[in-house]
Amino acid sequence: MTTILFIGDIVGPMGVTYLERRLPALAAEHRPDFILANAENTALHSNGAGGSCGMRPDLLDRLFTLGVDLVTGGNHSWDGPHGRTIHADPRIVRPLNVGRLAPGRGAAVVDKGGVRLGVINLISGTAMQGVDSPLDAVEGQLAAWDGAVDATLVDFHGESVMEKLALAFAFAGRVTGVFGTHTHVPTLDTRILPGGTAYVTDVGMTGPGEGIQGYAPELFVNTFRLRLPSGDPLAFASGAIELGAVVVRCEGGRAVSIARVV
Ligand SMILES: [Fe+2]
Ligand SMILES: [Fe+2]
């Protein structure tokens, strides 16, 4: 039996600090063989009005020190001053179905304890413009691996419930799990699809809970009010950190359970 812990979009250094306090106990409780985390929102790069999300080497180092095996991303994978250089690290993947010349890699194999876990990161056109077909991208990656993985997980970054479900059903029985990310809102629909594919529409975020997707509400409220860029700085929200995470157990590449971690 192989156990995988997947942590949804970590928001801010406070999300990383929370995991430093919490993850050792979670790991002792669930005994994951692999830990994956979406880290596209760990950093905040301010440029006056607005700002951008993304990652920072020191925060990524803290996640790897904690035992995270692989970091996934999304529309913010390339944000900020480190957005081009961090992808030199093979422990970081970004969406696969973007331009061929985009920095980074869209899939990786983590080989631990005799188990080769293939991880594919995808993005929807609802999260980023101009992307290629996520379904074609998965077909291409599975063909490239040609069975040289023991389990396969997909982080599908997007807004649409229907699109996430359609992709999961398209590969039901061929991948071990499809985990939605990007909305930062945890959904309750953990399920095992026919053939042994674990699914959840959105894992949810690991970040401060009293704002909008982990961020202070003013920028977004004023943008909708003005229907123009508001000029407010991008800032993290306040409040207690909420944990968005699932644990999946699989055997022979087939998922047998998926549950939220609380
Ligand atoms: Fe995110
Ligand atoms: Fe996102």
**Is pLDDT above 90 for 20?**
yes
- The confidence score (pLDDT) of residue 47 equals 67
- pLDDT tens digit string along 234-262? 999 999 999 999 999 999 999 999 999 99
Helix (H) or strand (E) holding 164: helix 161-170
Rounded to two decimals, what is the model's pTM?
0.97
Domain boundaries, the chain: 2-260
- pLDDT tens digit string along 126-154? 999 999 999 999 999 999 999 999 999 99
Exposure class string for 230-246: b at 16+ Cβ within 10 A, else e: bebebbbbeeebbbbbb
- pLDDT tens digit string along 194-204? 999 999 999 99
As residues whose CB is below 5 A from the ion ligand 2, the structure lists 74-75, 182
Q: Return d(Cα 37, Cα 70) in angstroms, integer.
A: 7
The full length of the chain comes to 262
User: Is the model more confident about 199 or about 230?
Assistant: 199
Separation of CA 172 and ligand 1 centre (Å): 25
- pLDDT tens digit string along 71-94? 999 999 999 999 999 999 999 999
- The confidence score (pLDDT) of residue 174 equals 98
Separation of CA 252 and ligand 1 centre (Å): 31
CB count in 10 Å sphere of residue 1: 10
- The confidence score (pLDDT) of residue 48 equals 64
* CATH annotation of 2-260: 3.60.21.10
- The confidence score (pLDDT) of residue 51 equals 82
Q: Active-site residue among 30, 76, 87, 157?
A: 76
- pLDDT tens digit string along 36-76? 999 999 999 986 667 899 999 999 999 999 999 999 999 99
